[in-house]
Amino acid sequence: MNDMSTKKINTSVLPGFMELLPPQQMAFNRMKSVIIDTFEQFGFLPLDTPVIERAEVLLAKAGGETERQIYQFTKGDTSLALRFDLTVPLARYVSEHAREITFPFRRYHVGKVYRGESPQKGRFREFYQCDIDIIGREKLSLVNDAEIPSVIYKVFKRLDIGQFVIRISNRKILKGLLEGLNISTDKSVEVMRIIDKIDKVGKGSVEKMMVDLGIENDTITKIFHFLDISGNTDEIIRALEAMDIQNVQYRQGVDELSQVVTNVGKLGIPVSNYAIDLSIARGLDYYTGTVYETVLSEYPEIGSVCSGGRYDNLAEMYTEQKLPGVGISIGLTRLFYQLSEAGLIKTDSSTPTKVLVVPFVSDLSQPLSIATRLREAGIATEVYLEEDRMKNKLAYADKLGIPFVVIIGEDEIEKGEFSVKNMRNGKQTQVKADELLAYIESEGSK
């Protein structure tokens, strides 16, 4: 241990890592609890896999950008890596424990994942993902694709961060469309890339790029016809059905999407909270069927706060078993950051404590036993144990936003009455020892 030089150690948090002060941490934890509680209400089982995985496990699924972002290292002669999402660990887990798991396997996982991205505003290298997935063995009913939005709906309703819309689409539609228009697989990727730019560069540029790619005019017209489809869910489904596309995948995609939105409606999700948005199928290329994105209507610039979809086979890298699934992920750290930036995070209290007991006696028996009694009644209570002036003791309660201070001096003990100060309105009241609990409970709920 080096004494002189170590004073200079850099104690700031690493760039790209989030570290919160207690009031913000409490707000963050409240969001996390709402998410976990909702997941459990829908019968999802908790999972908590190691943050460190064998590098080969993670590299089997990663590729390109993701692979470069993985934190890799060696311990002994084992090549290790930090997980970059919760889906790959799920795939490994299900492959490894398939015989002990009951299918359909509904699991949630709330945990930290790691990506060594270039740090920039709102991008984190360590962040919480909150995932749910439903995994079937060999098959999984399409009704599950409708249940997932009902979980999203419940989560964001309870998070109470304003109006939101769950956008739903199906990847088979766009893929089937291009297939049905006889666009080769190679070109199809390029076409998707081009049409994804339409909002940025406009229709004219997109048309030119498609002509340059050698797409025929007739085909371009049909693509534009498809891109122009809009309306409510029924109108979009009818327009998709009316398109002159003879392709099995296309028809299947439209049929699946139609079933999913019908069932979403039956699940009691208000019409204003979900919509078909065919454009979201352009990205999310990990998925093979239904896809979801969720946007906060008042903060579209935040982008999707919850994305996911259906995949044909979760764990082909690790097992011969076919494991279709559907799931979503909430990037909580990023969401919290964005909501903070938008001023939407309430941090009115910076402690779980409801009562601060302030003793002015040398024998602490009474103050400590009062604190114990309040805690037994479920009221989070602290005793101010430092010797200090009254002013400083009240300042402590004030800074932390503790709502009640109970002052206990010799006089109070003799009279069997305590001074209770309501820190929110400054009111000070004499309360009998045996009425203290009832008083706090009734005042606290006001």
Q: Which parts of 354-393 interact with a second copy (CB under 8 A)?
A: 356, 363-365, 368-369, 372, 375, 378, 380-383, 385-387
Among 220, 275, 284, 317, interactor with a second copy by CB under 8 A? 317
Does 352 sit near a second copy (CB under 8 A)?
yes
Instruction: Give the pairing of strands 164-170 and 274-276.
Output: parallel
Per-residue contact flags (x/-) with a second copy for residues 153 to 172, judged by CB under 8 A: -x------------------
80 binds a second copy (CB under 8 A): yes
Candidates 93-101, 168-176, 177-185, 279-287; binding stretch for a second copy (CB under 8 A) = 93-101
Among 66, 396, 423, 441, binds a second copy (CB under 8 A): 396
Name the token pair of 69: 């972002």
Residue 127 identity: F
Closer residue to a second copy, CB minimum distance, 55 or 280: 55
User: Stretches 156-164, 311-319, 419-427, 429-437: which one binds a second copy (CB under 8 A)?
Assistant: 311-319
Q: CB–CB of 220/181 below 8 Å?
A: no
Q: Which region among 249-257, 282-290, 340-348, 398-406 touches a second copy (by CB under 8 A)?
A: 398-406
Give the CA dihedral 264, 180, 325, 336, nearest 10 degrees. -70
Q: Computed from CA positions of residues 35, 41, 43, 46, in that sequence, does the dihedral angle turn out positive or negative?
A: positive
**Phi first, then psi: what are they for 317, rounded to 5°?**
-70, -25
Sole binder of a second copy in the list 400, 423, 433, 437 (CB under 8 A): 400
Query: Cβ 360 to a second copy, closest distance in Å?
Result: 14
Binding pattern for the stretch 20-59 against a second copy, x by CB under 8 A and - elsewhere: xxx--xx-xx----------xxxxxxxxxxxxxxx-xx--
State the DSSP code for 425.
T
Range in contact with a second copy (rule: CB under 8 A) among 73-81, 176-184, 231-239, 415-423: 73-81
- The per-residue DSSP string of 343-389 comes to T----S-S-S--EEEEEESS--HHHHHHHHHHHHTT--EEE--S---
Q: Which stretch binds a second copy (CB under 8 A): 174-182, 233-241, 316-324, 411-419?
A: 316-324
Beta bridge partners, 421, equal: 405, 428
Q: Residue 292 pairs with which residues in a beta bridge?
A: 168, 308
Structure tokens at 38: 């909702």
Contacts with a second copy in 266-305 (CB under 8 A)? Answer: 266-268
Q: Which of 65, 77, 100, 414 binds a second copy (CB under 8 A)?
A: 100
Closest distance to a second copy from the beta carbon of 162 (Å): 21
> Does 439 interact with a second copy (rule: CB under 8 A)?
no
Q: Using DSSP, state whether 139 is helix, strand or coil.
A: coil
3-state secondary structure 30-94: HHHHHHHHHHHHCCCEECCCCCEEEHHHHHHHCCHHHHHHCCEEEECCEEEEECCCCHHHHHHHH
Is residue 68 part of the contact set for a second copy (CB under 8 A)? no
Smallest gap, in angstroms, from Cβ of residue 382 to a second copy?
4
